[in-house]
Chain A
């Protein structure tokens, strides 16, 4: 598997650490309540098809990425800097 790092170009999977679904970017407010936090921490969709997840280019540039890929075909359709996604 190869991931197109926006800074480094396409790189082998072994350079990245996997985190999980990109919903981790949507952190609830401290007072959002247990249900919202439960959801944020534990509840995940398990899509057959497109998914967006977080990868850390740990053995590369140190950027967190949001990678869009297809769980059925394994196609990787894009990768963005998580910082850009989080700031927008």
Chain B
């Protein structure tokens, strides 16, 4: 219910929203949780395992219970914490994990079964038979136990990722964080102040204390305004720091567009990578509940949350409120409530020495031993000494003390240390290099101590950065001591809940100990305590205190589990922002791209490049028909294909030839200027890395060509060799791939075509096979290479890329005039298989020069990368699988890629495997299928009939082994 005269946003507009379809009204500035409390909604969720009715426990991102789904359709966002979700007009929220409703949930039958469903139940029960797990147990359990569900629809919402850099990152904008940011900024540091809340101020917004004579929230607002006006400060509200990583890198999730109705184009979230020279952890502390019988009834909340709802939002979760605590701080709750006119029925303090701070009924040395109420708390029982009393209360504010938020400090494997005074884990210094904690995050619990600590730590940090700390006055504030006595679990009938989200109670932890899961990490896995979306923020310390007690050890001896990123959940959509659809990778387009698309060519990816697969014509029955036509065109007339995607590396220097001799297995120092040579490049382990042609443009000037896919790899390799293995060589190189548009012109009429476009015509005598040189192409200085991948008389002609689109159109027009045309990658592949030219299908990383029949290319007169290792035992043996050609015995037989090879009469099982097929095509030139593959001792088996079996496609074909060159074996056409 709403309390008149309380809250920071009184008099703001009312905001209509719906919860489970019911129209409700909140007010601007509310979280969904505050608005639900204002509307007296008590049960807002059902628990994960037992489907127990649950209410709101906290007022922050640690909330374990109040998870809802916001929105509908593709935009439905499950597992939103109602305590974080800001209210906006038209907000649609639905409860989760309940059928048909949170008030009446059929699956609550699990709760009646709970004696059988304790920790380890699933492990023990659903073990046998094995096949039942996937088919029966898991689906049923998944339906019964769960959080919200995804819509299953494609979501078009925008998310983004971004980087930020600063000198000082201040994490958390409470009393300590505001002071730290202020002090660091005044010292001249570039500061980022990030806070997960929409409004900065932390607990100052939730308490009634004064700072420097002002209400705390007003002081905070003044500081925030002051910081916002400084050029060297960047405020990042709604930004939760989710992880601390190496070298001062932090992950953070900003809620950008979740606090108002969907705005097209506006990102919902932004995932930040923040790089900071220093970080100050001012993440504050989280209040922990106490485990007492039936402590999960709606209406039971942390005391700090009760104060936050009252003081910040002006709402209370019941007409009568009781308080149960083991520390002084919680007494403030009673005072604040009474000042607001709310009936406080009792303050129950477990400490025998506790003193009342005001006019309320105090039960010192007492404990809550039970609760009652159907849809929420109605009354509670307490025991004080020998007497048991029943107290009426609709809301119980519980405090078991505070846990400093040390999570981020632990992300690099550092362990916090137990502090016996505050009964909490505190960060040690140096857990995350460059990060220090200040304020409540390191156990400074009074407002005055937080303010002073923030200022002091920031001054130290500024000094470390070489800045001169400015004098930053620390304002006056409350400085009461934090007095606390241990209280983790209260005995009594009924389950004493620890982990509300995963339904783990005290008995589960004791059972774990009893079954010898004594390590805190084992207990966690056995019980699932701490494994829910709140990552045990509300339950870890109490659970390990119970474990410590059950195993007869102290808390420091028991230790803690490891906190890992993320601190709060991060949506996959935010981390994958920008990578949807075509954003997944850059697209590299050739200058002929548009012309190919205009001709209807389907584009296929080759590395990051897009290349035309084939050029369809009206009436084509399939791609095969187009491919056949293009192959025949090249074999009989002339074809044009964009080959700009092949890597081109310009290599120059007095030692250029020496470098090439070292990176290629064969020799390049003997290559004449104006000539091109095919080269084979090995890896240092003796296997083939890549192949291609290299042209000698001048005495000290070479142009290396790599395959499209391996261009980056080869560049990296050349840099490796030049910088580390042969640093004495005077040679430099750079990629020239992108400057040139290069086109293959292949076929018997290729010379005729080029004669028409090369200025001055093409003198056959000057352009023998493997010649290269400069030419002018229609007035544009270019390059011509007489090389061939198709086995035809062919050239590659290159011009600067600005002319590429124009030249491609000219070449096509010329080709068509000669009865030729464009050919795509499918035809290119057929042409090369007919000639037995290898690609990365054959040089796939596990084959050697020997395997592909090129061991003769490995020069023995010089060292090269991979030379020594290519001659290791086992790499030159006849029994190795060697490159062969395969032709179907029956010309109609199919050869398929990836199929395996077996002796004709052998069973097609793995033990009989003799090799495999790497490339196949249908050859229109020869009228049947062709294949390249690797066959054990294959070179000695030409003429043999073997059995090709494709288990995947169910194809078995008898094939004849042959030399891996099917067409024009003597190479007459290429030289003609």
Contact = CB atoms under 8 A, between A and B. Distances in A.
Contacts of B163: 12
Most chain A beta carbons < 10 A, residue from B246, B712, B720, B725: B246
Most chain A beta carbons < 10 A, residue from B163, B724, B728: B724
A48 interface: no
Given A30-B868, A37-B872, A83-B724, A74 B684 contact: no
B863 A30 contact: yes
Contacts of A31: 868
B561 interface: no
B275 A56 contact: no
A56 B872 contact: no
A25 B868 contact: no
B725 A75 contact: no
A31 B869 CA distance: 10
B868 A32 contact: yes
Interface in B918-966: none
Nearest to B734: A62
Interface in B469-518: none
Q: How large is the interface on A (under 10, 10 to 19, 20 to 34, 35 or more residues)?
A: 20 to 34
Q: How large is the interface on B (under 10, 10 to 19, 20 to 34, 35 or more residues)?
A: 20 to 34
Contact of B685 (A41, A76, A85): A41
Contacts of B245: 1
Interface string A4-40: 0000001010000101000011011011101001000
B723 A63 contact: yes
A62 B246 contact: no
Contacts of A25: 724
A86 B712 CA distance: 23
Nearest to B277: A10
B247 A64 contact: no
Given A1-B249, A41-B869, A64 B275 contact: no
Nearest to A22: B724
A2 B247 contact: yes
B727 A87 contact: yes
Interface in B848-905: 863, 867-869, 872-873
A62 B247 contact: no
Given A2-B248, A63-B723, A86-B724, A37 B868 contact: yes
A16 to B, nearest CB: 11
A2 B246 contact: yes
Given A1-B245, A2-B247, A64 B727 contact: no
Interface string B233-262: 000000000000111110000000000000
Contacts of B684: 27, 41
Contacts of B273: 12
A37 B728 CA distance: 22
B522 interface: no
Given A37-B872, A41-B684, A86-B725, A1 B246 contact: yes
Interface of A: 1-2, 10, 12, 17, 19, 24-25, 27-28, 30-32, 34, 37, 41, 56, 58, 62-64, 73-76, 81-83, 85-87
30 contacts: A1-B245, A1-B249, A2-B247, A10-B247, A12-B163, A25-B724, A27-B725, A28-B868, A30-B867, A30-B868, A31-B868, A32-B868, A34-B873, A37-B868, A37-B869, A37-B872, A41-B684, A41-B869, A56-B720, A63-B719, A64-B719, A64-B724, A74-B246, A76-B246, A76-B247, A83-B723, A83-B724, A83-B727, A86-B724, A86-B727
Given A12-B273, A37-B868, A76-B247, 16 more contacts: A2-B247, A10-B247, A12-B163, A19-B720, A27-B725, A30-B868, A41-B684, A56-B716, A63-B723, A64-B719, A64-B723, A73-B433, A75-B433, A82-B723, A82-B724, A83-B724
